[in-house]
Amino acid sequence: MTDPLTLAIVLIVVLVIAGQSVGITMIAGSLMYLVLAGRDPGLAPETMLQGLFNGYTLLAIPLFILAADIMNVGSLADRLLRFCQALVGRFRGGLGHVNVVSSVIFSGMSGSAVADAVGMGKIIIGMMTKDGRYTPQYAAAITAATATIGPIIPPSIPMVLYALVADQSIGFLFAAGILPGLMMAFMMAGMNYVIARRRNFPVDDVVPARELPALTFKALPALLLPVILLGGIYGGVVTPTEAAAVAAFYALVISIVLYRSVSIRQFYGALLSSARSTAAVGILVAGALAFEYVIVREQVPNQIASVMLDWEMNAITFLIAVNVLILVLGCVLEGGAILLIIVPILIPTAEALGIDMVHFGVVVVVNAMIGLITPPYGLLLFIVSNVSGAPIGKVIQEIWPFLLALIAALIVITFVPDIVLFLPRLLGYNG
């Protein structure tokens, strides 16, 4: 007779292929396992509730989502884009560079690739395609690619999820993502420059230097948000979870009181949007907690670690195997599912091989974010296709150069851990 774990995994795979939510499928698979294994099915909801109630760090997720939604409905994105255009719009392919720089800045506020693609993406794609300066598919592709920076430069919702499953410091993980995120941005800006030269993209109107102080002043309250958040976290004033609450409150104050760009109706819409997004993440986390009980009871992580050690796999070959595995899974699975289902199975082996857990966290998060633009599933590809009106097939054709640039950045991040760990060590990390 087939063992309960195999049947549970088969059920999960079948339901995912059928288009069901990953979180719900994991709950269903966990319940099937408990019933077939003769265990109390009540263990599933008990495990989920205990994990959610004890997961204090999870409170950061809905608060960062709310902050991003508030910023998206206000004029903050417009002010930031105008500021970025003044900085880099004068170069060939300038609006592509604006796209990259705006994603770097916005990533310091939202922590979400989807929030970046939806909020900033709507505006920048419209700017790029105006008067036919850029094709809709190119504007969509570079927008999807730059949105992957959002969860790497702090704050970062995926980093919070990794901290939960790996029991690591969110503060050190946030610090570890800064240099890799900037390197990803540099790689994509370089790729945009090469493509702009080859296709003779236009040079945008130069913003006079005398206007830069005024544009900076208008965008200053928004630009200060990342400084306030990171300063508060690393200065010991607030925890990362409290910083998320500060971000939401600050975004609300500057949008309503200072910019006066958010109405009551828009604020209500932002609350509804963040509630829906939070519910989706919550179901995914709950399902992962239930399924984690199953894989721990079956000792799956220990078995995998034992097999890999028997193969005499060292840290380098393990990291290569992990990168290949997650890149392949990213074609069909959402990043959060990878972090909550696959990564916990790999952590014991990584620890046994002496891999630094903060470095490992950045590697898997970057990899999972690349999955968001990896055909055929890539969630961001569908989002920007919908926003731009470009057919998904044409967006995929344009995404390959940026995908290769991000994979090149991933290789550097994987094999030069000092890039990842430099800032955490300055802040007292002993890894």
Look up tokens 């200060």; give the residue: 224
Q: What pLDDT score was predicted for residue 59?
A: 75
Q: Positive or negative CA dihedral for 184, 395, 371, 227? A: positive
Q: What pLDDT score was predicted for residue 110?
A: 63
Rounded-to-10 torsion of CA 46, 48, 49, 53: 140
| Full residue range of the structural domain in which residue 49 is found | 42-426
Instruction: Assess if residue 36 is contained within a domain.
Output: no
Q: What pLDDT score was predicted for residue 74?
A: 67
Instruction: Assess if residue 1 is contained within a domain.
Output: no
Q: Which of 424, 361, 356 is nearest to 175 (CA)?
A: 424
Instruction: Assess if residue 21 is contained within a domain.
Output: no
Q: What pLDDT score was predicted for residue 426?
A: 92
Cα-based distances in Å from 235 to 225, 230, 238, 417: 15, 8, 8, 25
Q: What pLDDT score was predicted for residue 152?
A: 92
Residue 158 tokens, joined: 């995926």
Q: Which residues face 92 on adjacent strands?
A: 203
Q: What pLDDT score was predicted for residue 242?
A: 82
Q: What pLDDT score was predicted for residue 205?
A: 66
Q: What pLDDT score was predicted for residue 362?
A: 96
- Report pTM: 0.79
Query: Contact at 8 Å (CB) between 225 and 154?
Result: no
* SS3 per-residue string spanning the chain: CCCHHHHHHHHHHHHHHCCCCHHHHHHHHHHHHHHHCCCCCCHHHHHHHHHHHHCHHHHHHHHHHHHHHHHHHCCHHHHHHHHHHHHHCCCECHHHHHHHHHHHHHHHHHCCHHHHHHHHHHHHHHHHHHHHCCCHHHHHHHHHHHHCCCCCCCCCHHHHHHHHHHCCCHHHHHHHHHHHHHHHHHHHHHHHHHHHHHHCCCECCCCCHHHHHHHHHHHHHHHHHHHHHHHHHHCCCCCHHHHHHHHHHHHHHHHHHHCCCCCHHHHHHHHHHHHHHHHHHHHHHHHHHHHHHHHHHCCHHHHHHHHHHHCCCCHHHHHHHHHHHHHHHCCCCCHHHHHHHHHHHHHHHHHHCCCCHHHHHHHHHHHHHHHHHCCCCCHHHHHHHHHHCCCHHHHHHHHHHHHHHHHHHHHHHHHCHHHHHHHHHHCCCCC
Q: What pLDDT score was predicted for residue 180?
A: 95
CA-angle at 34, arms to 30 and 40, nearest 5°: 125
Instruction: Assess if residue 359 is contained within a domain.
Output: yes
Instruction: Assess if residue 6 is contained within a domain.
Output: no
Look up tokens 């970062």; give the residue: 156
Instruction: Assess if residue 13 is contained within a domain.
Output: no
Q: Which residues face 203 on adjacent strands?
A: 92
Query: Contact at 8 Å (CB) between 128 and 349?
Result: no
Mean pLDDT by 10 residues, the chain (431 residues): 78 79 82 84 74 67 78 71 72 79 74 70 76 85 90 86 87 92 93 89 71 79 78 79 82 81 83 82 77 76 66 84 84 74 85 92 94 80 81 90 95 95 91 74
Residue 302 CB-density burial (10 A; 0-12 exposed, 13-18 middle, 19+ buried)? middle
| Number of domains within the chain | 1
Residue 430 tokens, joined: 């002993």
Instruction: Assess if residue 60 is contained within a domain.
Output: yes
